[in-house]
């Protein structure tokens, strides 16, 4: 095994392969920065080009793209509150407030260090888990998928503890919207009102671009000014502090990486859930959770470490079973097959060197992306100084084109604009957007898991407690709700005591 691993290292470090890797990193950064594009589009465009390439070159380029997209997506999330990729949406929550305080470079420094560290952690875990991959993936059946989805929604809804009720309402509306379109279990189309466009449901990327990017740009154009509220205070030299902050919060990095790897490995759940759960868990574990959302660096470090770790996790079911762990992996599966590699447990024995090469390319890709991103950080951070009356229309126009480019459907523009207005109203009337997004993503998984479990259990709800994995997940859900109720009960207790004293 060591010999094959070293051969993979030598193959990857050859000048030609490194060139493909760096090429992939540059493409990944550009596709990551522009809202609406992202890794799936980049890999899809690369797919036909890899046909004539050697496997190692194709994997180096794909690894470079996957490793760099996260960094690119987070740069626009921090600077514009417009996540370049869906998983980067969680980075907006504290990254953008930091940019508004003039500390964009500090946040980008944290991203540049947390991303590769998370990626490295994910890769090391993947190398350790590969021999027992089959057993790990088989732990999840329909009841476990349902419980993972419920856990994701509950964790995010209760983490908006400042307004728990409104968090739950937003989650409920997100769930309701997620049921629009084709019912994958029972067949039939729901809530489409005759529109063929809605058969596939509410498209995710346009929804995210609308709820986060457009909503924020609307706010900016209405309120006036620039992204950084105190222009005189914009600090373009805080990168070093950002890196030091990541190292200081090493526990947050490890926690985020574990969450990213684990959730990334669950097919269909995806990276967006991983980053939001990493954010929520870090917020809940903090002594001052209320300060999250106002520019806490841990709120950037946690999702970023999960963001890159999730790629290694998602590789696990893709390679072991041909079940893609994310949208990017669906396209990557195409690259594998194009090169005559059949996913399944045998792939590790038949193409060991190529698989190691891919894993190493992912890690190196994240490191190169950080270095290249840091070189340009000063210029990128200057975006926060641009007048909002100019920046907002430009971002909205590019976002319109970006969301259209995904499926070449004009309806996607309508969805982005409509949810942009909804997102703005949620900002205005203090409804958290996070639970809506997470429920929109997880609704289908939750429903499918629920319906299939009911069929397997013949209507018996005990199916959700039949395995150790289910029991652990139920325990985590109960713990999440209980944890969020403790401060509320304490508050009530203090109020009662004060009342009694009076």
Partner 1 sequence: MIAWPSLAMLLFVLAYLASALLTLDGATRIVPLMAGAVTLMLLLIDIVRSAATQDAVMPVPPRRELIAVAYIAAAVISIQFFGFWLTIPIYLFTSIAWLGKQAFRTALSVSVLTSLFIYLLFEVLLGYNLYPGLLLELW
Query: Which residues of the shown chain bind partner 1 in the complex (CB under 8 A)?
Result: 34, 45, 165-166, 168-169, 172-173, 175-176, 179, 183, 185-188, 190-191, 214, 218, 221-223, 387, 389-390, 392-394, 396-398, 400-401, 404-405, 408, 410, 413-414, 417, 420-421, 424-425, 427-431, 443, 446-447, 450-451
The residue among 139 and 185 lying less far from partner 1, judged by its C-beta, is 185
Picking from 219, 188, 159, the residue whose alpha carbon sits closest to that of residue 437 is 159
285/252 Cα distance (integer angstroms)? 10
* Least separation in angstroms between CB 161 and partner 1: 15
Overall residue count recorded for the chain in this entry: 502
The residue among 304 and 444 lying less far from partner 1, judged by its C-beta, is 444
* Least separation in angstroms between CB 471 and partner 1: 23
The residue among 106 and 145 lying less far from partner 1, judged by its C-beta, is 145
Q: Is residue 33 within 8 Å of residue 19, measured between CB atoms? A: no
* Least separation in angstroms between CB 445 and partner 1: 12
* Least separation in angstroms between CB 26 and partner 1: 13
* Least separation in angstroms between CB 23 and partner 1: 14
Compute CA distances 376 → 213, 226, 309, 370, 382, whole Å. Answer: 22, 20, 24, 10, 10
Q: Is residue 256 within 8 Å of residue 114, measured between CB atoms? A: yes
Chain centroid offset of residue 387 CA = 29
The residue among 379 and 429 lying less far from partner 1, judged by its C-beta, is 429
* Least separation in angstroms between CB 497 and partner 1: 21
The residue among 45 and 53 lying less far from partner 1, judged by its C-beta, is 45
456/202 Cα distance (integer angstroms)? 29
The residue among 298 and 447 lying less far from partner 1, judged by its C-beta, is 447
* Least separation in angstroms between CB 431 and partner 1: 8
347/351 Cα distance (integer angstroms)? 6
The residue among 34 and 148 lying less far from partner 1, judged by its C-beta, is 34
Q: Compute the C-alpha angle 246/248/254, nearest 5°.
A: 65
- How deeply is 350 buried, as exposed, middle or buried, from its count of CB atoms within 10 A (0-12, 13-18, 19+)? exposed
Picking from 373, 408, 291, 343, the residue whose alpha carbon sits closest to that of residue 134 is 343
H helices of 50-180, where?
Answer: 55-80, 89-100, 104-129, 133-137, 142-159, 164-178
């Amino acid at each position: 095994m060591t010999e094959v691993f070293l051969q993979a290292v030598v193959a990857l470090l050859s000048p030609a392969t490194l060139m493909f890797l760096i090429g992939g990193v540059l493409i990944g950064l550009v596709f990551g920065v522009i809202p609406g594009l992202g890794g799936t589009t980049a890999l899809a465009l690369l797919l036909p080009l890899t046909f004539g390439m050697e496997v190692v070159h194709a994997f180096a380029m794909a690894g470079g793209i996957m490793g760099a997209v996260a960094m690119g997506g987070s740069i626009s999330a921090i600077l514009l509150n417009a996540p370049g990729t869906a998983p980067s949406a969680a980075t907006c929550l504290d990254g953008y407030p930091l940019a508004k305080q003039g500390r964009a470079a500090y946040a980008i420094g944290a991203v540049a260090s947390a991303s590769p560290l998370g990626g490295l952690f994910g890769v090391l875990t993947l190398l350790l888990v590969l021999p027992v991959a089959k057993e790990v993936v088989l732990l999840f059946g329909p009841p476990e998928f349902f419980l993972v989805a419920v856990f994701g929604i509950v964790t995010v809804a209760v983490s908006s503890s400042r307004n728990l009720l409104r968090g739950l309402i937003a989650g409920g509306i997100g769930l309701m919207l997620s049921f629009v379109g084709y019912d994958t279990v029972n067949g039939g189309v729901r809530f489409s009102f005759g529109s063929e466009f809605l058969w596939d449901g509410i498209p995710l990327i346009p929804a995210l671009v609308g709820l986060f990017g457009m909503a924020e740009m609307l706010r900016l154009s209405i309120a006036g000014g620039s992204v950084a509220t105190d222009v005189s205070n914009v600090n373009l030299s805080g990168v070093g502090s950002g890196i030091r902050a990541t190292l200081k919060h090493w526990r947050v990095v490890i926690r985020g990486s574990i969450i990213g790897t684990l959730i990334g490995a669950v097919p269909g759940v995806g990276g967006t859930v991983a980053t939001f759960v990493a954010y929520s868990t870090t917020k809940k574990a903090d002594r001052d959770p209320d300060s999250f959302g106002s520019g806490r660096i841990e709120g950037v470090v946690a999702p970023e470490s999960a963001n890159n770790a999730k790629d290694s996790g998602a590789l696990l079911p893709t390679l072991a079973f041909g079940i893609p762990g994310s949208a990017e992996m669906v396209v990557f599966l195409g690259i594998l097959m194009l090169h005559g590699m059949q996913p399944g447990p045998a792939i590790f024995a038949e193409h060991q060197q190529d698989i190691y090469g891919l894993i190493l390319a992912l890690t190196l890709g994240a490191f190169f992306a950080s270095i290249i991103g840091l070189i340009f950080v000063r210029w990128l951070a200057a975006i926060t100084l641009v007048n909002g009356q100019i920046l907002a229309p430009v971002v909205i126009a590019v976002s319109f084109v970006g969301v259209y480019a995904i499926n070449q459907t004009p309806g996607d523009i309508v969805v982005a604009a409509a949810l942009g207005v909804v997102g703005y109203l949620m900002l205005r009337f203090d409804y958290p957007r996070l639970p809506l997004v997470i429920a929109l993503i997880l609704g289908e998984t939750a429903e499918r898991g629920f319906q299939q479990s009911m069929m397997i259990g013949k209507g018996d709800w005990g199916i959700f407690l039949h395995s150790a994995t289910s029991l652990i997940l139920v325990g985590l859900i109960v713990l999440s709700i209980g944890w969020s109720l403790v401060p509320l009960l304490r508050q009530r207790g203090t109020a009662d005591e004060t009342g009694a004293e009076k």
